Amino acid sequence: MEPLNEDDQKTHQSLIGAPQWVIQIGRFDIQTAVMTLSRFRAMPRQGHLDRVKRIQGHLSNVRHATIKSRTDAPDCSNIPVKLHDWECSCYADAKEEIPLDAPAPKGMTSFFDANLCHDLVSGKSVTGVLHQLNKTPVDWCSKLQLTVETATFGSECVAARTCHEQVIDLRLALRHLGAPIDGPTMVLGDNESVINSAAIPHSKMHKRWVALSCHRVRCAVAAGIINIHHIAGKKNPADVLSKHWDLPSVWNAMKPLLFWNWKLMGPSAEEAKEGSNIEQKDVAKLVSKLDAKCDVKAAARGKGQKNNHVLIEGSDNDTISPVIQSTNQSRVPSSRPRTEVRPKGKDARSNAEHKVEQKR
């Protein structure tokens, strides 16, 4: 595909520059696409320009998405608190660094996810992180990892470490600003192996090349800075920041964040009396349309791929599942005795004897 001419290059740079400001004011749903396409600003091609226009089309179709300040704390009562004994580990003296001149310490929740081999050219993965104060998104990021990981476990460990480092920065900044923080930050990810490696002190670390990332997260858990738990992948909002998606696939994760209490997005009663409430009708029409598309897609996926998802359906029944126990369990041998089956009419002679008889 040939590079764009000079005029189309300016159009591409303008169309890719504007969404970067849109992300700063709250539209984190396009950050992964903008991050990927921004790498081709020097010499864009026609395909890049077409995809940038699709981003603009998505912003136009979902132009009513906004972040609302939600002051109520998230309900984490269904998350079991599992206390492990860290005194007998190398993290026994881990403590959170709290400024001496900071005000008295509110609730904080963070989500992380990774997409293995997001960049097919370099093989690098993408880290997606979303932070919430109470139920309001306050910070998010989507960026390529600095190292090339060969397995999902490695990329998820790097994402967990990145999330933990951002949590420490946010907690220190909020304390200095006088915003109290209530207890450890709830960190949620959708890879159970990473969760177990970080949350259970006696779990074994088999992957040495990501051991430092896991030790970093374990130290934060032992110090009481974070509590790390597992969440179902389809309910993880960090998926929006780590993967390419179609809107119906991530609608259930986006709706509580960008369309919370969408009925209040329209004009007030006084404004409706003075004029029309076309905007409120547009929002209601958009929400109902996306709800219907999401239901249709879920029904089609359930019919066509039911057998492939039998093993993971159990973990998606609740919003958040507890940390599972260590996976170092012994295999249960099969009770069925081994039998040697031979075709009828064949004797038990070896292959060498059979070849010798054929030569004769």
pLDDT of residue 162: 94
Note the pLDDT of residue 161.
93
Quote the pTM value: 0.64
Q: Which of 20, 74, 39 is nearest to 320 (CA)?
A: 74
Residue 184 tokens read as 């450890």
Q: Which of 201, 220, 17 is nearest to 112 (CA)?
A: 220
Q: What is the pLDDT of residue 187?
A: 94
pLDDT of residue 13: 87
Q: Phi/psi of residue 343, each to 5°? A: -65, 150
Tens-level pLDDT at each residue, the chain (360 residues)? 778 888 888 888 888 888 888 888 888 888 888 998 888 888 888 899 999 999 889 888 888 888 877 777 777 777 777 777 777 787 777 877 766 665 554 678 999 999 999 988 899 999 999 999 888 888 999 999 998 998 899 999 999 999 999 999 998 888 887 777 878 899 999 999 899 888 888 887 776 778 888 888 989 998 889 999 998 888 899 998 998 888 888 888 888 888 776 555 555 555 555 544 555 666 777 777 777 877 777 777 666 654 333 333 333 333 333 333 333 333 344 444 444 444 444 444 555 555 445 544
Q: May I ask the CATH architecture of the domain 84-266+276-325?
A: 2-Layer Sandwich (3.30)
Q: How far apart are CA 150 and CA 129, in angstroms?
A: 21
pLDDT on residue 333: 43
- Per-domain residue ranges for the chain? 1-61, 84-266+276-325
pLDDT for the residue numbered 160: 93
